[in-house]
Copies of this chain bind each other. A is one copy, B any other.
Amino acid sequence: MPVSTLILSSSLALQLVSGAAPAAPAQSSAPAKSAAPAKKAYAPPLAVAEKLVGPALTEGHSYARLAELTDGIGPRLSGSEGAAAAVQWALKSFKADGVKAWTEPVKVPRWVRGEERAEILPSELTRGHPLFILALGGSPPTAPEGLTAEVVEVTSLEALATLGDSVKGKIVFFNHTMSSPADYGRFAGLRGRGPALAAKAGAVGSLVRSLATASLRTPHTGSTRFDDEGPRIPAASVTTEEADQLHRLLAKGPVRVKMVLGCSELPDADSHNVVAEVRGREKPQEIVLISAHLDSWDVGTGAHDDGAGVVMVMEAARLIAKLPQAPRRTVRVVLYMNEENGLRGGRAYAEAHAAELSKHVAAMEMDSGGGRPVAVSLRSGPGGKELLEPWLSPLVALGAAQFSTREAGGADISPLLPARVPFFGVEVDASRYFDVHHTHADTLDKVDPQDLARSTAATAWVTYAMAESPDTLARPEAPTGSPGGGAPVATPPKASSGR
């Protein structure tokens, strides 16, 4: 869709702005930190809301962009040709949108999936079955002929610890009971750390039940992390169907599995974050950071994870750049590289911009898929809700005019925590997110154009609120226990139980 569709003539645009009843321009030069005026009931510039929400809902621009990214480029694992193509696509798209953009260097891991297959071997219990697997990102390969071993089932890292020598030489199979998005955080550690701990206990391989809320024999990949000095064993996810089958067979007797993984870890590769911004009209040095991650897993086309987030924040910037008057502060878009298997982009940004993090007045990352908006989230010092409350009214019809009970956050912005950057976010309905998360099935058809448009509209408006509000969010305390900016490899995506 051409970006010119909704370019208004400047005279018409001015007319619309000046015609708005509680017009913003009269207030827009008020000092941001002046205590007295801010205590009055602040009336946000609602005329701007229609310029953001209107086109987001009617133009279909974010969905068209998502089709370009997923159909045109496809998967984009860090270091791959797809990831490099996505960087170029983002630069070109920002340029077409009239938003200044550039790249910033990130050195990324380069893990490459290879041949992968596994099977339950024939025994007295069964004639044997193929297993549908996906190697976990970070897994080493098996020997070319594969590995064959008996399977031991465990359902927690604690249970693994009690098994002692009995897992030596075995394939440890991590089973669990994930049934809703809220369970992701409970069980993600089995994938993230289970194989490393199984290796330390002497296991020779590991299978992890997919972190899934639906399955049609659908394996879910994801990262697993081994310690630099510790042993590493081949690790793959199995489908929920096969986890159930392994469980049934193991209840009757021993089960042996053969697995062959051909994945490899190549030398780190040069890659990039893509950064773009709309300069603020009054306090350009104050930055409202909105972000998503440009990389995806190498399966599917990363439509929900995180193509949806990418097009939401790009569209927010495009629409804000088209406003007749820029917001008070600078809106900066960061499309991070390497959220999925390293978080190098998030860390690189925090390092490269360390000197200006005190001027980052708010940051958000959209990374829970392209569902409809359900709430606004915050992580700030006192008074955050009071500051944002007057800005909620344009979100009523979008279904998001309430505050979430969850804190705002995001894996790539977690390195900003030590600098006490306030976080905000638009929480989306993620009730079906884990049906497709990290699978071959994360494709464009799973994203509802209407839901995406609504979340894009909410993202644009809340971003504008952060950039235009006379006051800024109070900075939160730095989290304890996270010295030096260390961030989790994979923060569980927020998951609304709605719908």
Contact = CB atoms under 8 A, between A and B. Distances in A.
Interface in A181-233: 214-218
A295 interface: no
A431 to B, nearest CB: 16
Nearest to A244: B445
A437 to B, nearest CB: 11
A294 to B, nearest CB: 15
Contacts of A245: 71, 443-445
A127 B216 contact: no
A217 B218 CA distance: 8
A125 interface: yes
A479 interface: no
Given A67-B248, A240-B445, A248-B67, A128 B215 contact: no
Contact of A127 (B72, B244, B440): B72
A301 B217 CA distance: 11
A73 interface: yes
A384 interface: no
Given A443-B245, A445-B240, A445-B241, A74 B216 contact: no
A162 interface: no
B85 A127 contact: yes
Interface size bracket, A side: 35 or more
Contacts of A440: 132, 216-217
A72 B214 contact: no
A73 to B, nearest CB: 6
A92 to B, nearest CB: 14
A243 to B, nearest CB: 9
A397 to B, nearest CB: 29
Nearest to A446: B241
26 contacts: A67-B248, A71-B125, A71-B129, A71-B245, A71-B248, A71-B249, A72-B126, A72-B127, A74-B129, A81-B127, A85-B127, A129-B301, A215-B216, A216-B216, A216-B218, A216-B435, A216-B436, A216-B441, A217-B218, A217-B439, A217-B443, A218-B441, A241-B445, A245-B443, A245-B445, A248-B444
Interface of A: 67, 71-74, 81-82, 85, 125-129, 132, 214-218, 240-241, 244-245, 248-249, 300-301, 435-436, 439-441, 443-445
Given A72-B125, A73-B126, A240-B445, 19 more contacts: A67-B248, A71-B245, A71-B248, A71-B249, A72-B127, A132-B440, A214-B216, A216-B218, A216-B435, A216-B436, A216-B439, A216-B441, A217-B300, A217-B441, A218-B218, A241-B445, A244-B445, A245-B443, A245-B444
